[in-house]
Amino acid sequence: MQVSVLEGGFADAPVQSARAFREIMTAMAQPGRINTVDGAHAPGISVASSVALLTLCDPDTPLYLAPSLDTADLRNWIAFHTAAPLVTPDKASFALGAWSELLGQDFPIGIPEYPDRSATLIVEMPALSATGATLRGPGIKDMARLSLPDADAMRDNTRLFPLGMDFILTCGSQLAAMPRTTRID
Amino acid sequence: MKMSDYNFAYLDEQTKRMIRRAILKGLAIPGYQVPFASREMPMPYGWGTGGVQVSAAVMVPEDTLKVIDQGADDTTNAVSIRRFFEKTAGVAVTEHTDQANVIQTRHRIPEQDLTEGQILVYQVPIPEPLRFLEPSEVETRKMHSLEEYGLMHVKLYEDIAQHGAIATAYAYPVRVEGRYVMDPSPIPKFDNPKLTMAGIQLFGAGREQRIYALPPYTDVVSLDFEDFPFEASKADHACGLCGAIDSYLDELIVDDQGARMFMCSDTDYCAGRQEETAA
């Protein structure tokens, strides 16, 4: 196994994953908020996506990798650092990829009795900024703005509430989140 | 024992990841109870094991922790949980609401408004608001999925029919974002209006294995009727120690003649007001 696969994890997992989770949680609690994370880098993906994988994924969380990210290096890195099983979209609790590759896939959206059994999509973005679509809903005082990959598809997802997917948007070392509750004007 | 003898914040990493995933889904579906695999903690059920697990999963070493039990920082439950995290997470602790990042609470919301960035963790005994009306979990899940909340209004109506007013004084049911009916834990209904706040609210029920959450500024409405609107009631007195008329009061019997005194349940709020008066 190549050395690069063994590197790029947290040096001090308990503390670094605690700090990383605080950033992910405050992003999910306040849609539109952009947080910065560090401490992990997997081959071929952003620091923020790597941190999200390390913080949230383990053998209990089936993961879907978009085709262009599905390299031997990344597969090995995920296997070594998280041991998350790689699966097809319909069985995934997490997914990682660019928007164009995740769009239209058949991810779990939960069931009426258990809406939490839905996928969380980690979306690699070319840029992330507090501009663009207007967001309202839980976690947002009046309104917020966020550069969404696809406002129409996210609006459709919001209409599924309380079912639906949740999104973690990543770019470099930055991340933001879009839960299913956020209304897009 | 030194702090380094424990994993940071006591729980193992896989357990924390599992709790963290439940918290994220809870925040994404406000008011919905997310099942989680609650662990045995080194304290009995009913002593805040759910709250402790949630606090352990969100805590970072830089945090300052405050723990209150019915508003008080100096009661057994609060002191033991504070010491638990001092020992296992090495975090700073405080009794001042405005200096804390993470506040674990049993059955009160601090009088002082929380600000953005603060996290309020509730200890929850029975997370299911419909449980005393419908004992079956299968049925209550179905009721939540169908938004079938008529039974709760019947319960409040029966209060009015029997007592002339809604007699429910604590754990007063709320509706979150017009969707899920939620038990705000046994906080007095005086605290219900504060459930819409700038801080993040996380609810942990250890024995019942549920986590739920309210993101900041979430719309939370106490259930009521047009002709019997919700009232955030408190004892009709001023605090005997600080004179506050706007805080929730505990009634205390102070001698064997039955003399009573009302005092703030929030000890930090009361002490702060007394210091201000003295200065």
Residue B3 pLDDT > 60, yes or no?
no
B34-60 average pLDDT score: 95
Distance CA A116, CA B29 (A): 8
Residue B1 pLDDT > 90, yes or no?
no
Give the SS3 label for residue A28.
Answer: helix
Q: Do B177 and A30 touch (CB under 8 A)?
A: no
At B4 the pLDDT is 65
Of residues A104 and A53, the one with the higher pLDDT is A53
Q: Which residues of B touch A13 (CB under 8 A)?
A: 13
B161-189 average pLDDT score: 96
Residue B246 pLDDT > 80, yes or no?
yes
Residues of B tagged active-site: 31, 239, 242, 264, 270
Residue of A nearest to B56 (CA): A18
Residue B191 pLDDT > 60, yes or no?
yes
Of residues A146 and B46, the one with the higher pLDDT is A146
In this complex, is the C-beta atom of B181 within 8 Å of any C-beta atom belonging to chain A? no
In this complex, is the C-beta atom of B25 within 8 Å of any C-beta atom belonging to chain A? yes
Distance CA B31, CA B66 (A): 24
At B279 the pLDDT is 81
At A1 the pLDDT is 57
Residue A2 pLDDT > 80, yes or no?
no
Q: Do A17 and B13 touch (CB under 8 A)?
A: yes
In this complex, is the C-beta atom of B61 within 8 Å of any C-beta atom belonging to chain A? yes
Q: Which residues of B touch A9 (CB under 8 A)?
A: none
In this complex, is the C-beta atom of B28 within 8 Å of any C-beta atom belonging to chain A? yes
Q: Residue B253 pairs with which residues in a beta bridge?
A: B260
At A36 the pLDDT is 98
Radius of gyration of chain A (CA): 16
* Percent share of chain B, pLDDT over 90: 95
Distance CA A73, CA B11 (A): 31
Residue of A nearest to B141 (CA): A113
Q: Which residues of A touch B219 (CB under 8 A)?
A: 138
Distance CA B93, CA B85 (A): 9
Q: Which residues of B touch A15 (CB under 8 A)?
A: 8, 60-61
Question: How distant is the Cα of A118 from the closest Cα of chain B, in angstroms?
Answer: 9
Spatial CB neighbours of B197, under 8 Å, sequence gap ≥ 6: B109, B113, B114, B120, B216, B217
Find the largest Cα–Cα distance for chain B.
59
Size of interface A-B (CB pairs under 8 A): 119
Residue B141 pLDDT > 70, yes or no?
yes
Average pLDDT over chain A reads 96
pLDDT digits (tens, 9 = 90+) for A113-137: 999 999 999 999 999 999 999 999 9
In this complex, is the C-beta atom of A161 within 8 Å of any C-beta atom belonging to chain B? yes
pLDDT digits (tens, 9 = 90+) for B84-125: 999 999 999 999 999 999 999 999 999 999 999 999 999 999
Residue A81 pLDDT > 70, yes or no?
yes
Spatial CB neighbours of B238, under 8 Å, sequence gap ≥ 6: B244, B245, B262
Q: Do A161 and B117 touch (CB under 8 A)?
A: no
At A5 the pLDDT is 87
B167-171 average pLDDT score: 94
Question: How distant is the Cα of A29 from the closest Cα of chain B, in angstroms?
Answer: 5
Nearest to A116 among B20, B29, B198 (CB): B29
Q: Do A113 and B60 touch (CB under 8 A)?
A: no
Q: List, in sequence order, every beta strand (DSSP E) within B76-146.
A: 92-93, 102-106, 119-123
Do the Cβ atoms of A25 and B24 come closer than 8 Å?
yes
Question: How distant is the Cα of B167 from the closest Cα of chain A, in angstroms?
Answer: 30
Do the Cβ atoms of B213 and B57 come closer than 8 Å?
no
- Regarding an ipTM greater than 0.90, the answer is yes
Q: Which residue has the tokens 């049911």?
A: B173
Distance CA B51, CA B269 (A): 22
pLDDT digits (tens, 9 = 90+) for A6-47: 999 999 999 999 999 999 999 999 999 999 999 999 999 999
Please, which residues 62-121 of chain B have a Cβ atom closer than 8 Å to chain A?
116-117
Residue A3 pLDDT > 90, yes or no?
no
